[in-house]
Structure 1
Amino acid sequence: MDKKKICVVVNSLGGGGGAERSSALLTKMLDNLGYNVHIVSVLKDVDYEYAGSLLNLGELKEKDNSIKGRLNRFFIFKNYLKENQFDFIIDNRVRQSIIIELFTRRILYKNKNIIYVIRSRKITKYFTKSMFWGGKRIFRNAYAYVGVSEEIRDEISNSYKFKNVIKINNPVEIDDNNSSTEEGIDFTEDYILFYGRLSDEVKNVSLLIDAYKISQLPEENIKLLILGGDGKDKDMLKYKANSDNINFKPFTNNPFPYVKHARFCCLTSRYEGFPRVLIESLSVGTPPVLSVECSGVSEIVVNEYNGLIVENYNKQALAGAMNKFVLNKDLYTTCKQNSRLSIEHLSLLKVGEEWSNLLNEKR
């Protein structure tokens, strides 16, 4: 029996984002399950390991992004879908342009089994800002809509009234992440860690910096290490930090040695989907301290069991949580001991079974 052919469409396979890493993991998971996997990437960045055949439209975009170049990429994509006759197209892209998505849905995806993946609580990034066009015209009647958290799933169902809306969490490579911690790092001091894209309107690293400065950690000689790419707010955040206790390191596609050696990891986002920084931190035995009460967090972290959850936008509460993890040794040890066990249900094998069930449903 021939393998089912799956086309995974992504914005990119790199750039330091959790959504991109999750999309790359999806290709590996499907490949492990025996599917014939193809990837179409809109942008050229490839930082994360993936599985399958890659059509990198981003490389063509770099060479020619004129109107002619865009039309050329459109027809290359169209012909690629026609030649391969995929059983399913799993679209992980951010989808904000009504015009682009109208052409994509009516021409590229016409009469195809489309699965839309929604990886952020800011759902309008995935269904355009227009409820009418997004909910009633362009994206209706897909094979399935996959939200990566319960809150995202419920919001899609309630706001757009789509059928076949399900939740499948992001997976984590528990064994691979632990083996990846063996690389050395060029930072020898005691530290807490933030890693991710330096976009303050989403990640709110400013809050983390403010909370760290008023915490007891500087007095305890515990540094704040910020591991991120050249996001648009990098210079602003460096200026705001203005301290020898706060250090910046460039993006790396293997953050796990830094995660493993951190006292704990911090997440201060304004909104998320199903935060990779949490499950990756827990997978290598490093408990997280959080300032967020947003999508996905309560599905991952149980307060004072495998981490701490505090009120968002409250630097005093966040600083207090930092102090608590440093000064309360028993609490810290408990959370550290429970960390890896608490996310075993998110292994590639377990989450892969959920994807396999979806792709093999009798309709």
Structure 2
Amino acid sequence: MLFQLGYQVHIVSVLNIIEYEYAGELLNLGELKEKKDGFFARWNRLQVFKNYLKKHQFHCIIDNRTRNSWLRETIIAKWLYAAYKTIYVIRSYNLEYYFPKRDNLSKYQYQNAAAIVSVSKEIQSLVEKKYGFNNVTTIYNPIERYSIEESETPTINYKYILAYGRLDDAVKNYSLLLDAYSKSSLAKEKMKLIILGSGDDLELLKRKVASLQLLEDVMFLPFVKNPLPIVSKAKFVCLTSRFEGFPRVLIESLSVGVPVVSVNCKSGPEEIISNKQNGLLVENFDEKALAEAMDSFIFDKELYEKCKGKAKQSVERFSIEAISKDWKNLIERI
């Protein structure tokens, strides 16, 4: 995104997991970690990183990591980043991923930040209220550009609704989705549920499906880099997370004309969905309301077609072009 705007971009990865194409230069600290870990090895990686920063003299650093170790993050903020304008990004409403438990330590850790970027207005409001920072701004996640034509996409010859993402039930709450689906009329209407993704809770969710006697109605498909060919053929997409930041699942689905049914978790859904305009927004943890919303999109054809017709236009403001301008304005302002 920034590379296309003419910036020189360097990516520093702390894990040796490079799954997507990128533009710019890569410093893969994860490779060093796989060769040797431990206290001295970690210190050596910090030295490598510090020398890299000194060599290139960057205008600014954008830190997208989770930051929940106060001692480590204080060393990074006060020693590694001290000479540079640093933008910290907060990608979840669960602030424990990014801030120490003690507010005074958080204020110390972030006191030299050039800016703090939240991915939703709700996160911005929470951070400002909790810590009193006055340099917080919101820049939404952009819609990634994927093709909806994919030769490796599995052939699906039945009607389905879709949920996709990491199979982590403590966050994504697929259990709520399964309970609501079991109470809805979708299985009777031959509308299957596909759960697309990989993760540690696959077997747990399969047992849940069996206990609900939905083995013929719920299908699991493994993670794919480009989900849009599957998304684009879904009747609608569901999100049932306990918490989020700014869920890409919703904006990706809407971008290909597929309406959504989502719980109103913290945070993001209510900044994306206009209820009964591009999707349906229901109170979180209410399986009855969620089941009724699912049924609405099956039986109320006028409502469904209205939401489907407005889906694409509703997320034009999250295009890469629009979000790139927000980042450019911030970088030039600090």
Correspondence for 2:61: 89
Q: Which residue of 2 aligns with 1:235?
A: 203
* Aligned residue in 1 for 2:167: 198
What is the identity, as a one-letter code, of the residue corresponding to 2:246? F
Q: Which residue of 1 aligns with 2:143?
A: 172
Residue in 2 that maps onto 1:24: none
TM-fit CA distance, 1:182: 4.5
Residue 73 of structure 1 deviates from its aligned partner by 1.3
Alignment correspondent of 1:349: 321
- The answer to whether the aligner puts 1:289 opposite 2:261 as a matched pair is yes
Three-state SS of the structure 2 residue aligned to 1:340 is helix
Q: Which amino acid is 2:205 matched to? A: L
1:99 matches 2:71: yes
Mapped to 2, the partners of 1:294 and 1:217 lie a distance apart of 27
| C-alpha distance in structure 1 between counterparts of 2:125 and 2:112, whole Å | 17
1:251 corresponding residue in structure 2? 223
RMSD, matched Cα: 1.2
Q: SS at the partner of 1:116? A: strand
39-48 or 302-311, larger mean C-alpha shift: 39-48
CA distance in 2 between counterparts of 1:329 and 1:349 reads 34
Correspondence for 1:147: 118
- What is the match of residue 298 of structure 1? 270
Is residue 310 of structure 2 the alignment partner of residue 338 of structure 1? yes
Within the alignment, does 1:156 sit opposite 2:156 as a pair? no
Deviating more after overlay: 232-241 vs 201-210? 232-241
Aligned residue in 1 for 2:191: 222
* In structure 1, C-alpha distance between the alignment counterparts of 2:154 and 2:306, rounded to whole Å: 26
Residue pair 1:293, 1:309 contacting (<8 A) in 2 also: no
Select between 303-312 and 102-111 the one with higher mean Cα deviation: 102-111
Aligned counterparts of 1:180 and 1:117: Cα–Cα separation in 2: 29
Partner SS for 1:86: coil
Once the two structures are superposed, residues 72-111 of structure 1 have per-residue CA deviations (whole angstroms, 9 ceiling, x without a partner) of 2111111111111110000010000011101111111112
Quick check: 1:185–1:257 contact (8 Å CA) kept in 2? no
TM-score (ref. length: structure 2): 0.95
Residue 318 of structure 1: aligned partner: 290
* Alignment-mate amino acid for residue 212 of structure 1: Y
Contact 2:86 2:114 in 1 (8 A): yes
In the alignment, the residues of structure 2 paired with residue 350 and residue 92 of structure 1 have an alpha-carbon distance, to the nearest angstrom, of 20
Which contiguous aligned blocks of 4+ residues in structure 1 show a shift greater than 3 angstroms? 180-184
User: Residue 11 of structure 2 aligns to a residue in which SS?
Assistant: strand
One-letter code aligned to 2:218: I
Map 1:37-116 → 2, pairs under 5 A: 37-116=9-88
One-letter code aligned to 2:194: L
Amino acid aligned to 1:233: D
Contact persistence 2:118–2:137 (CA under 8 A):
yes
Q: Is the 8 A contact 1:127 1:139 kept in 2?
A: no
Identity %: 50
In 2, Cα distance between equivalents of 1:198 and 1:165 = 31
Classify the secondary structure of the residue corresponding to 2:125: helix
Q: What is the TM-score when the length of structure 1 is the normalising length?
A: 0.88
1:289 and 1:50 mapped to 2: Cα distance?
A: 32
The amino acid of 2:88's aligned partner reads Y
Aligned equivalents of 1:286 and 1:252: distance in 2? Answer: 19
Deviation at 1:273, TM superposition (A): 0.7
CA distance, structure 2, for counterparts of residue 309 and residue 325 of structure 1: 12
Match of 1:36 in 2: 8
- Aligned residue for 1:186? 155
Unaligned 5+ runs, structure 1? 1-28
Name which of 257, 280, 289 aligns with 1:308. Answer: 280
Q: Which blocks of at least 5 consecutive residues in structure 2 are unaligned?
A: none
Give the secondary structure class of the aligned counterpart of 1:213.
helix
SS at match of 2:276: coil
Quick one: distance in 1 between partners of 2:44 and 2:83? 22
Q: Distance in 1 between matches of 2:239 and 2:264?
A: 7
